[in-house]
Amino acid sequence: MSAAPPTTTANSALWCIVPAAGRSARFGGEIPKQYLSLAGESLLLRTLERLATHAQIAGLVVVLAADDRHWPGINILHGKPVLTAIGGGERADSVLAGLLVLPTDVTSGHFILVHDAARPCLRHDDLSRLIAQAGAGDGGLLACPVRDTLKRATPDQHVMQTESRAALWRALTPQMFRRGALSAALQKASTEHIAVTDEAMAMELVGIRPLLVEGSEDNIKVTTPADLRLAEFLLQRA
Ligand SMILES: Nc1ccn([C@@H]2O[C@H](COP(=O)(O)OP(=O)(O)OP(=O)(O)O)[C@@H](O)[C@H]2O)c(=O)n1
Ligand SMILES: C[C@](O)(CO)[C@H](O)COP(=O)(O)O
C-alpha cells in the first residue's frame, strides 16, 4: 500500500478513539469494569483524563455499549471535545463505529489513535514517543518486549514446550494509524470474517508493518480484579 504523505507531524494534535463498549466477562461483576472505582474516579474517567491532559490530543471519541447506563454524558474534558459512538459485539466493530463519528476535518490521511478504556496508567512520555515515531511512517503501536520464558500448554495444563521469546513483543495501546487506512483495513477484516484483536493486526493483514514503539510495562490493561488493584497502586504511586 503506497502510504499517503504523512499529514500528522510530531506537533500535530490527534483525535483518540477509546473503545469502552466491552462486557468485562473476564472481570465479572454487575458493573462493567470501565465504571468501577479506581482511586476515587471511574476507570474510564481515569483513562480519559490521562488522554485529555496530553497536549497532542485534540479530542476523544468514547465508544459505548448500546445499553450503557453509566456514561456521565461528558462532552468536554480539560478543554478537549468528547464525542460518543455506539460500539458493537467485537472490539473491531467498536473501533469502526468510533471512526465514523470523527470530525470531517480529520481527513483520511490524518493519523488517529486508539486506546483501550481499560488502560488507565498510560504515561504521557510514552504517548509523545509513539506520536513522534509512528507518525513518520505507516503508523505503529506501543509495545513491550517479552521478558519472561513462554510455555505452550497441553490441554491438561502441563508444559508442552518452551516457545522462543526472540523478537516477541506484547502489544499495548495506544495504536496509531491513518484514519482511511485503518477504516479500510478493519472493514476488510470484517468482510473476510477475520477476528482481529488489535488495530495493528488489521493493518498487518493489508501488508503494513506497524512500528513497535517501546512503552512502559506499567501501561497495564485492567482485565481481572487483580489488575484493578494493581492499577490503583500504580496510579497512587505516581
Ligand atoms: N466489543 C468490544 C469489546 C471490547 N471493547 C473495549 O476494548 C478494550 C479492551 O478490551 P477488554 O479489556 O477485553 O475488555 P472486555 O472486552 O470488556 O473484556 P472481556 O474480554 O473480559 O469481556 C476495553 O476498553 C473494552 O471496553 C469494546 O469497546 N468493544
Ligand atoms: C488491544 C490490546 O489491548 C493489545 O494488547 C488487546 O489486544 C485487547 O485484547 P482484549 O481481549 O480486547 O482485551
For residue 234, what pLDDT is reported? Answer: 96
For position 1, what pLDDT does the model report? 46
**Any atom of ligand 2 within 6 Å of the Cβ of 195:** no
Does 171 sit in the ligand 2 pocket, CB within 6 Å? yes
Pairing verdict, β 57-64 and 80-86: parallel
For residue 35, give the C-alpha cell. Answer: 465504571
At residue 238, the pLDDT reads 60
Nine cell digits for residue 133: 515515531
Nearest CA to ligand 2 atom 1: 198
Q: Which residues in the chain land under pLDDT 70?
A: 1-11, 238
Q: Which pTM does this prediction carry?
A: 0.96
Question: CA–CA separation, 192 vs 75, rounded Å?
Answer: 35
What structural domains does the chain harbor? 14-233 (3.90.550.10)
State whether the beta carbon of 144 lies less than 6 angstroms from ligand 2: no
pLDDT, position 12: 73
pLDDT tens digits, 74-112: 999 999 999 999 999 999 999 999 999 999 999 999 999
Ligand nearest to the CA of 65: 1
Kindly report, residue by residue over 20-39, the tens digit of the pLDDT: 999 999 999 999 999 999 98
Ligand 1 atom with least separation from CA of 27: 21
Q: Whose CA is nearest to atom 11 of ligand 2?
A: 197
C-alpha 93 – ligand 2 centre gap (Å): 14
User: ipTM exceeding 0.95?
Assistant: yes
Task: DSSP letter for 89, please.
Answer: S
